[in-house]
């Protein structure tokens, strides 16, 4: 078990190294430089030349990459040219917002999906099952950003129930009101994300429960007179729980990808919005750091899921 995890982590290392080189080169290949026009519109070319030079931007790429990696291991991701602030500090502030929203969405997703999946399986082939199936398929096939735009239009602007921008109200007092305000700001994106992200869990849980319903151990329990409710709660649900939990890891990829859209629509200051802004300003240091972080988070999510699944299903462990 531990060996499997350790080996998986070892396999991750070359992947991360390749990703970092790739990202670094791509960022270097981006046109323009971070200085022209950003310090002072009338900046003298010689001065920019000087700035480029002291920042090491004329060194060969491997030199620059090596310097970058060395700094990376000292916890130093460089300075953001746009914000004139250390990237580590800049991103950690934003990361909290993104992860907070992602966590909230995940929890809500499970709250919606688990009862739906169980209910659909219980009433397999009947009306509730069809309704849930149609629901999951409708939510699955509509592009998420369209939902976000329509959602913010109806609930944010027309009805005015939710804030349409930011992560916290600037007037909220410290302490509890701040937390409440933060929660209020992620409520709408969280609900939308959860309502439209149930499809995998619902379908998996449904088929899992339907399989379990016909299995020998459930029939044995039933013939022994165990109440139907207990059969579902203790026998069927518990068995499906771990594989379902494994989806949390895989869903990280989707959530992070979605964060670019969610944060743009809701002007929510997380890593996704930071990335979009940094692209326009050619803020290399921030861009490379963000892509790397997203890549590593994707890897960790997959790793987490694989670990959970390998606990459930020993067959996977051999590979």
Partner 1 sequence: MEENLNKHSDISAADLERLSKEAQDEATPSSSKIIWSEFKADKPAMVALILVVTFILFVMIASLFINTPKMMETDIMNYNATPGSNGFLLGADTGGRPILQQLIVGARNSIGIAIGLTLISSTFGICWGLISGYFNGYIDWGMQRVYDFMMMLPMTMMIIVLVTIIKSYNAVTLTFIFSIFYWEGTSRLIRSRTLSESEKDYVAASKTSGTGSFKIIFREIMPNISSLIIVDTTLSFAENIGVETGLSYLGFGLPIQTPSLGTLIANANDPNNITQYWWTWLPAALLIIILCLSISYIGQVVRRAADASQRHGISD
Partner 2 sequence: MSLIEINDLKVHYPIRSGFWNRITYSVKAVDGISFNIEAGETYGLVGESGSGKSTTGKSVVGLEKITSGSIMYKGKDITKKSNRKELDYNHDVQMIFQDSLSSLNPRKRIEDIIAEPLRNFEKLDANEEKLRVLQLLDIVGLDADALYKYPHQFSGGQRQRIGVARAVATNPKLIIADEPVSALDLSVQAQVLNFMKKIQREFGISYLFISHDLGVVRHMCNNIAIMNRGRLVEIGTRDDIYNHPLHIYTKRLLAAIPETNVNHRQEHREQRLEVEKIYQEQQDKYYDKDGKAYPLVQISPTHSVALPEDLVEKIKHEGEVKA
The beta strands (E) that lie in the chain are given as 79-80, 85-86
Chain positions 282 to 311 lying near partner 2, rule: CB under 8 A, are none
Burial 12-27 (b: 16+ CB within 10 A, else e): beeeeeebbeebbeeb
The reply on whether position 318 binds partner 2 by CB under 8 A is yes
CA–CA separation, 152 and 161 (whole Å): 10
> Do the Cβ atoms of 164 and 143 come closer than 8 Å?
no
The reply on whether position 15 binds partner 1 by CB under 8 A is yes
> Do the Cβ atoms of 290 and 275 come closer than 8 Å?
yes
3-state secondary structure at position 287: helix
Residue 207 or 257 having the CB closest to partner 1: 257
For residue 171, the minimal CB distance to partner 1 (Å) is 19
The beta strands (E) that lie in 215-256 are given as none
For residue 31, the minimal CB distance to partner 2 (Å) is 44
For residue 9, the minimal CB distance to partner 2 (Å) is 12
Residue 88 or 264 having the CB closest to partner 1: 264
Chain positions 249 to 288 lying near partner 1, rule: CB under 8 A, are 253, 256-257, 260-261, 264-265, 275-276, 279, 287
Among residues 208, 289, 294, 310, the one that binds partner 1 under rule CB under 8 A:
294
For residue 308, the minimal CB distance to partner 1 (Å) is 17
CA–CA separation, 295 and 298 (whole Å): 5
Chain positions 103 to 122 lying near partner 2, rule: CB under 8 A, are none
Residue 6 or 242 having the CB closest to partner 2: 6
Rg (CA), the chain: 24
The reply on whether position 318 binds partner 1 by CB under 8 A is no
The reply on whether position 248 binds partner 1 by CB under 8 A is no
When CB distances are held under 5 to 8 angstroms depending on the partner's kind, the choice from partner 2, partner 1, none that residue 6 binds is: partner 2
Among residues 7, 50, 53, 126, the one that binds partner 2 under rule CB under 8 A:
7
Q: How many CA atoms lie within 13 A of 106 on its CB side?
A: 21
Among residues 209, 218, 286, 291, the one that binds partner 1 under rule CB under 8 A:
291
* Angle (CA) 299 302 303, round 5°: 85
The reply on whether position 77 binds partner 1 by CB under 8 A is no
Residue 15 or 124 having the CB closest to partner 2: 15
Q: Which two tokens stand for residue 272?
A: 């996704």
Burial (Cβ within 10 Å: 0-12, 13-18, ≥19) of residue 300:
middle
The reply on whether position 315 binds partner 2 by CB under 8 A is no
Residues that bind partner 2 (CB under 8 A): 3, 6-7, 318
């Amino acid at each position: 078990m531990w060996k499997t995890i350790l080996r998986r982590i070892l396999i991750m290392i070359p992947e991360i190294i390749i990703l970092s080189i790739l990202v670094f080169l791509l960022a270097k290949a981006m046109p323009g430089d971070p200085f022209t026009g950003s310090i002072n519109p009338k900046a003298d070319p010689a001065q920019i030349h000087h700035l480029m030079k002291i920042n090491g931007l004329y060194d060969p790429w491997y030199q620059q990459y090596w310097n970058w990696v060395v700094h990376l291991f000292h916890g130093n991701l460089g300075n953001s040219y746009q914000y004139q602030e250390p990237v580590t500090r800049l991103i950690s502030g934003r990361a909290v917002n993104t992860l907070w929203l992602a966590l909230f969405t995940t929890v809500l997703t499970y709250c919606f999906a688990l009862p739906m999946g169980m209910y659909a399986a219980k009433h397999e082939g009947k009306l509730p099952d069809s309704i849930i199936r149609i629901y999951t398929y409708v939510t699955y096939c509509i592009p998420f950003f369209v939902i976000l735009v329509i959602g913010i239009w109806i609930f944010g602007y027309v009805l005015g129930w939710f804030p349409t921008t930011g992560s916290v109200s600037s007037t909220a007092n410290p302490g509890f009101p701040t937390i409440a305000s933060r929660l209020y700001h992620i409520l709408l994106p969280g609900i939308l994300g959860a309502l439209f992200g149930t499809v995998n869990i619902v379908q998996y849980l449904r088929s899992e429960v339907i399989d379990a319903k016909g299995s020998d151990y459930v029939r044995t329990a039933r013939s022994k007179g165990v109440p139907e409710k207990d059969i579902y709660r203790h026998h069927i649900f518990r068995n499906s729980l771990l594989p379902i939990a494994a989806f949390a890891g895989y869903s990280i990829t989707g959530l992070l990808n979605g964060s670019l859209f969610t944060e743009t629509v809701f002007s929510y200051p997380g890593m996704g919005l930071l990335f979009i802004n940094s692209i326009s300003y050619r803020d290399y240091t921030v861009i490379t750091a963000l892509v790397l972080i997203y890549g590593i988070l994707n890897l960790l999510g997959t790793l987490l899921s694989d670990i959970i699944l390998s606990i459930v299903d020993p067959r996977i462990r051999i590979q």
